[in-house]
Amino acid sequence: MSSNDQSQECFVELDIFQNTVIDIGGRLIYSQEFAQVYSEIVYESIRSYLSSKLSEKGVSILWSNLNGITNVKGIPAKLLRPGSPWIAGRVRMRLVVEFEPEETGSGSSRSPLDDIRGDVSQ
């Protein structure tokens, strides 16, 4: 069976603002902390690369705007689609942390996170 024939992925976006804990190699980290570290590393690389590539194409963009592209508000921009006029708005980049659960067949209603949350709050 080729990789294209495998079942469709079932990744779900993690809500990083809940007390969700991720176990990576036996080490626990809150999903919010994981996403923050990941975002800092990736966004710094993206900003540098984006700045370089835009310069090669003759597009100058302020470094402060590159920082703004990753925040909630984004940066002012205009969009042009074929057959439509320019549309003023904002553009932003966003990273998403996703998780794909394995099928376990467990029917337990008790969450394994109950024990972890108890340990973390003590």
The pLDDT tens digits of the residues spanning 61-74 come to: 766 666 666 666 78
Distance, in Å, from the CA atom of 28 to the CA atom of 21, rounded to the nearest integer, reads 6
Does residue 87 register a pLDDT over 90? Answer: yes
Q: Which of these, 71, 15, 77, lies nearest to 43 by C-alpha position?
A: 71
Does residue 2 register a pLDDT over 60? Answer: no
Domain limits of the chain? 10-101
Q: Is 69 exposed, middle or buried (0-12, 13-18, 19+ CB in 10 A)?
A: buried
Distance, in Å, from the CA atom of 96 to the CA atom of 39, rounded to the nearest integer, reads 9
